[in-house]
Amino acid sequence: MNLDLGSGVRSAISKITGAGVVDEKAINDLVIELQRALISSDVNVKLVFEITEKIKEKALKEKNHPSITLREKIVKIVYDELVSMLGEKYEPSIQKKKILVFGLNASGKTTTIAKLAKFYLKRGLKTGVIAGDIHRPAAIEQLKQLSEEVKCDFFERGKLDPKALALEGLKTLKDDVVIFDSAGRSAFDDELKKELKDIYNAFNPDETFLVVSADIGQVAGKQAEEFSKTIPVSGVIITKMDGSGKGGGALTSTHSTGSRIAFIGTGEKPDDLEVFDSTKFISRLVGYADLETLLEKVKEVTEEKELTQAIETGAWNYTTFMIQLKSMRKIGPMKKIMQLLGLYDIPEEFMDKSEDKLKKFEAAVSSMTEQERKNPAFVKVKSRQERIARGAGIKPEEMRELVTNFDRVEKMYKGLKKNKGMLKKFGNIDLSKLGGL
């Protein structure tokens, strides 16, 4: 099964956001789906069970904050646990420095160096690269071409010994940022270890980046561990995140073996590099720009359900009324829909409420007490209306207008309820899809 991690995680979360009731079964469904998504992205099975066990425990035991729904709470728990699997955000220092890049053959070192050069150039630092892969004939030419493409300085001395090359390169290049492209091997052997140590001592880098391809999944962590026994690894760069189904394994194993992820490569072009930020990464994986948007989304879903319930039962209160007003504002020409349904007696004033009036209504509803919102009868009391209007900063007649409108809507839906056929017709319409009408 080739399950993309993002869609797997989204599908898992939908077991909660889309569930009729959030009960133990819904939580189990979420956990099973999440396990499936993570394992198929090559995340270590033991780690997956640890994480999902924690999610389950917190989801069932942790108390709800009064203003957060159970759904929101669970989504947030999942989000937090996923973020914790990946470690902290990397913050690249924008200053003069020497960077040594290393890793096995074809992991993406040379491509990544062009990306890094572009990254620092864009931030106003003069950048140059040293062609240190002297074992593969085409490697020097590849780096030369890339450096022309990103417009950074380039240094090579053919097959000169890498130690001498590092020293000469540093003397010749007068750049703020100097990046050394080292040779890989097909495996991590003694020859490579010795060469890396020599370069490290001669070049004396401020940062050392190990490049691994996402394709190797969990092996990334082991590799980082091995390399760091030879020279310090200040950060791991995981390339080919765009094309691999094993990215989850590469990311989590790197963090769990004690290395930090510095950048990720997301394509072959010099711009396809991202500073690694676990929070942003997970937000995107989950499918939302940030958690606030996520929570907002969850809220909307819940509101939609409440609204449907109010429509079906005819039991309105000021909370559902407000949701109704907001959703109508999104839909636009509600009148047209109503007419299509054969409902002509919608109060004109209600349909044509201006933005301004809507805001006033919203202000009024928010200065009601919870009790008033749930029991519209309370709002009929004049002294209460006066208090609400004062709290909302609106005129008493505007407050009365709100109450009148509420009564009309309630009556309309009660009428609809009697006409079951019509209600069914109405219920079958997916309001969210009518935005373009």
Please give the sequence-ordered ranges of beta strands (E in DSSP) within 88-232, or none if there are none. 97-102, 127-132, 153-155, 177-182, 207-213
| Residue nearer to ligand GDP on the CB measure, 55 or 116 | 116
User: Cα–Cα distance between 87 and 260 in angstroms, integer?
Assistant: 7
Tell which positions 127-186 bind Mg ion, by CB under 5 A. Answer: 133, 139
Write the interaction track for ligand GDP spanning residues 160-199; mark x where CB under 6 A is met and - where it is not: ------------------------x---------------
Total site size for Mg ion, rule CB under 5 A: 4
Alpha-helical runs (H) found in 275-381 = 278-286, 291-313, 318-331, 334-340, 348-351, 355-366, 370-374
Output the residue with the shortest Cβ distance to ligand GDP: 265
Chain centre to alpha carbon of residue 340: 40
- Tokens describing residue 74: 């669970």
Verify binding: residue 109, ligand GDP, rule CB under 6 A.
Answer: yes
Interacting span for ligand GDP (CB under 6 A) from 43-51, 91-99, 235-243, 277-285? 235-243
| Residue nearer to ligand GDP on the CB measure, 98 or 109 | 109
CB 337 within 8 A of CB 434: yes
Write the interaction track for ligand GDP spanning residues 255-274; mark x where CB under 6 A is met and - where it is not: ----------xxxx---x--
Residue from 107, 147, 218, 317 touching ligand GDP (CB under 6 A): that is 107
User: Cα–Cα distance between 312 and 424 in angstroms, integer?
Assistant: 9
| Residue nearer to ligand GDP on the CB measure, 111 or 405 | 111
β-bridge partners, 99: 179, 207
- Tokens describing residue 433: 């899809």
Task: Residue 169: name its binding partner from Mg ion, ligand GDP, none (Cβ under 5 to 8 Å by kind).
Answer: none
Tell me whether strands 261-265 and 273-275 are parallel, antiparallel or unpaired: antiparallel
Verify binding: residue 105, ligand GDP, rule CB under 6 A.
Answer: yes
Verify binding: residue 115, Mg ion, rule CB under 5 A.
Answer: no
Chain centre to alpha carbon of residue 115: 23
Verify binding: residue 109, Mg ion, rule CB under 5 A.
Answer: yes
Residue from 240, 246, 255, 373 touching ligand GDP (CB under 6 A): that is 240
β-bridge partners, 143: none
Tell which positions 319-358 bind ligand GDP, by CB under 6 A. Answer: none
Cβ-Cβ contacts under 8 Å for 245 (sequence gap 6 or more): 2, 3, 4, 5, 40, 41, 42
Q: How many CB atoms lie within 10 A of CB 380?
A: 12
Residue from 35, 110, 127, 253 touching Mg ion (CB under 5 A): that is 110
Residue with tokens 């997956």: 48
| Residue nearer to ligand GDP on the CB measure, 158 or 436 | 158
- Tokens describing residue 187: 């495996």
Verify binding: residue 369, ligand GDP, rule CB under 6 A.
Answer: no
Residues that bind ligand GDP (CB under 6 A): 103, 105-111, 184, 239-240, 242-243, 265-268, 272
Residues that bind Mg ion (CB under 5 A): 109-110, 133, 139
